[in-house]
Structure 1
């Protein structure tokens, strides 16, 4: 009897430890504290680095574990239950939502900002203006061109965006090149007049010292939607105002995807991004906030 009681008592202690351990795992990260794995689209790092810097300065106990990955890798991690909080340049499609929901992890998806896909060429390149139909045709296998198309990654969200825009599901051309990151794209285009680079507009707004000189030796291509009803708008370069007025054709929405299924650090960061302070950071970055921050104006009456 004593032996059975001892075994029962030991099992109860073990069960208690397991329960406490599980609870600790679930509560290790809080709304503004603790650590949690965040996976972000590397093409959006200029904006997200700013957001993270301010968030961590306000909440010093928040220690997000951030990794930057190309879009296809992010989706692979999420769909295989290896990541539960991500920021991407597109939303999830119905099939992806279904996979996550079937695992009892229905994604909470919110908009953060509008970004532009910028086409860049060498400073002295004659290709400073392009029709949208010409941009689309660059990714079709039957198009002949002497231009090299340069991207930040073979699994880039920008490649996925342009392939979808062009109506193709694979790139067979020999003139398509993927480099290490967007900085390398800018550096390459600055020294190769036969190249067209494709990057997020955010990389051109406040260049870091390690690629600032290269950024001075590239030009941004103006794009014109030749099938738009109001064709008189002419060729438009990416800018905050062009995004706000819906004038630039190559734009995308930045989304936060939260599949954590709890109120934790991911929820806290998502709330910060969509708050007035988070949206002001988007505004200052040069991209277009999802919701324009309120601007208070005090009018004093002269006596």
Structure 2
């Protein structure tokens, strides 16, 4: 009798252990938190809302500057992030030491852009002048305004200028993208540095400012001396690589298992996700296929 009870207990324990948790995360359901670089939040938000209509998944999207997003990954506060760069080998060392293999999914091309007031005389800018300005050298640029000192845009320009940190003289940072738009809309002959994504997908409350700002054409610092072409950050120039400040958007997945990070990454890189990117004005990593149905009309008139 005792032996029968013992085996019944063991069987019940095993069955309980094998029971699926209804809230367990899979690639298409459950809940996960994703840290999103605030400079590219609109495109990720758009993709999520469409993703949500098709799958029973809940994603919490937290918008942070690039450096804070990286810190969230490294501190273990997040396992999934959308950034405009990959982690360095040193940064990834923490995960590899824990046996976690990163899953990196590129899904779009964005760009760093320069804005100015519509009334400003200048409509173009030389990237070499920006670099000289950041280095503290002689430059026709007198003032630059950034959205956030911890942004990916700042990091990219500092990298091009060979700096570890932007100079403080005549370089200003505000507290949001909206603040940058408002400042440029109200001040002439000032140049702002921001991301392309929010310019292409502005929120409705930004519309009054958007009417008073313009995106500047940029001359590539690597251009030939006789090449005076200034390129705008549109899909064509992103595809051809002629615009000088292009960057790739990545979904970085450090879950270490097949969870929602895998599912959402597959969606972003798939046909539906790439169509959302294409419609946004950014450049998709892969051109989504387009099926054209040709219907032949039969002429019955004799």
TM-score after normalising by structure 1: 0.87
1:97-152 deviation per Cα after TM superposition (whole angstroms, max 9, x unaligned): 22221122221111010001110011111232111211222211344666332122
Correspondent of 1:57 among 38, 50, 53: 53
Task: Compute the displacement of 1:84 (Å).
Answer: 0.7
**Does the CA-based 8 Å contact 1:37-1:65 persist in structure 2?**
yes
Q: Which segments of 5 or more consecutive residues in structure 1 lack a partner in the other structure? A: 1-11
Distance 1:46 1:170 in 2: 27
Correspondent of 2:39 among 27, 39, 43: 43
**Does the CA-based 8 Å contact 1:31-1:264 persist in structure 2?**
yes
Matched, 1:210 2:205: yes
Secondary structure at the aligned position of 2:218 is classed as strand
**Does the CA-based 8 Å contact 1:129-1:223 persist in structure 2?**
yes
Q: Higher mean Cα deviation, 223-232 or 126-135?
A: 223-232
- Say how many residue pairs are matched: 291
TM-score after normalising by structure 2: 0.87
**Does the CA-based 8 Å contact 1:146-1:194 persist in structure 2?**
no
Correspondent of 1:222 among 199, 214, 217: 217
Q: Higher mean Cα deviation, 278-287 or 28-37?
A: 28-37
Task: Compute the displacement of 1:90 (Å).
Answer: 0.9
Q: CA RMSD in A?
A: 2.8
Task: Write the mapping of 1:20-39 to structure 2, written as runs, cut at 5 A.
Answer: 28-39=24-35
**Does the CA-based 8 Å contact 2:130-2:139 persist in structure 1?**
no
Correspondent of 1:114 among 109, 120, 123: 109
Q: Which segments of 5 or more consecutive residues in structure 2 lack a partner in the other structure? A: 1-9
1:57-91 deviation per Cα after TM superposition (whole angstroms, max 9, x unaligned): 212x2111221111101111111222110000111
Q: Residues 146, 279 of structure 1: CA spacing in aligned structure 2 closer, same or farther, 3 A cutoff? A: closer
